[in-house]
Amino acid sequence: MKYRNVGNSGLKISEIGLGSWLTYGTAAEQEAAHTCIAKAFELGINFFDTANAYNRGEGEKAMGAALKPYRRESYVLSTKVYFPMDSGPNDRGLSRKHIMEQCEASLKRLGTDYIDMYFCHRYDSDTPLEETLRALDDLQAQGKILYAAVSEWSAAQLTDAYGIGKRLNLRPLIANQPIYNMFERYIEHEVLPVSGQVGIGQIVFSPLAQGILTGKYKPGQPLPTGSRGADASVNNVISSYMNDTVLNCVQELDKLAKDLGITLSQLALAWILREPGISAALIGATKPAQIEENVKAVDVTLQPETCVEIERILKQAEGFEPLR
């Protein structure tokens, strides 16, 4: 495994992290969480990500239980706050009340004394940004979180947060967690350049485009039995990728990967890690073998001519916008 600093901070995380979105606490059984995390540790992964909103806290409980056997200092744990956790008007968002209450609730569900990285899961336009940033800074002062971060914030929002933090002498945000893969590249235009200027690293989710970039889905063929795409109760996002334009691109990318002697998922992850502004790519896994395959991407260096060929293939899908 290889490790990178998160933004301008001294925190080092594995280039491949293990997340629990749509897996642990939902589709996957607890035993799968234990076996996958054990394999992740064996392979050098030290970064584990979840959120309070994943199945209303069940994702956190599953992650916490699976991490319990390991020395707390040996891993970096993150969770998130923003989405509704109940029906009340203050049971959502980034107000000081919701942040403070949900941090305490997450600590209990995770079974830990502190959270390494605490993410604002989205931007809250109903709460003054200064209120949110002060709450995060207070949690750091209390030792309940070590670093503050955000998810899917725009370049303008990151810039505003940086300016307020500097003015108030608050501890800086160190990471943004956006979606990023070969078919969803919006962060390249503004988020990556601005983040580089203000010292924020990108910890990207859905690097394999909901499993599309594993090559398991073929144009004109039925969805594989037992796959995420075939299970509407688990995921309704992947259906937007199921068109011939995208799937034909995937077939070309799969052939390119085979010509390089690697798998398509390794190609897709190596393509993400080529970007210096990326701190880590978050994968989801229900089987240890998936983790074994994906971590090999850290040893893949894509040559310039390969990157040019990837861009040629991806041009065929220009204009594609998946459901989000």
What's the rounded Cα separation, in Å, for the pair 281 and 8?
17
What's the rounded Cα separation, in Å, for the pair 117 and 77?
6
What's the rounded Cα separation, in Å, for the pair 94 and 129?
9
What's the rounded Cα separation, in Å, for the pair 157 and 221?
42
What's the rounded Cα separation, in Å, for the pair 278 and 273?
6
For 38, the token pair is: 């054990």
What's the rounded Cα separation, in Å, for the pair 279 and 77?
15
Beta carbons within 8 Å of 290's beta carbon, 6+ residues apart: 36, 283
For 196, the token pair is: 């580089």
What's the rounded Cα separation, in Å, for the pair 193 and 187?
9
List the catalytic residue out of 24, 54, 123, 147: 54
CA distances in angstroms from 253 to 120, 185, 186, listed in the order given: 34, 17, 20
Nearest to 182 by CA among 4, 14, 317, 16: 317
Please report, to the nearest 10 degrees, the dihedral formed by the alpha carbons of residues 108, 113, 115, 116 taken in order. Answer: -160
* 106 neighbors 77 (Cβ within 8 angstroms): no
Give catalytic status of residue 24 as yes or no: no
Beta carbons within 8 Å of 303's beta carbon, 6+ residues apart: none
Q: Catalytic residues, which ones?
A: 54
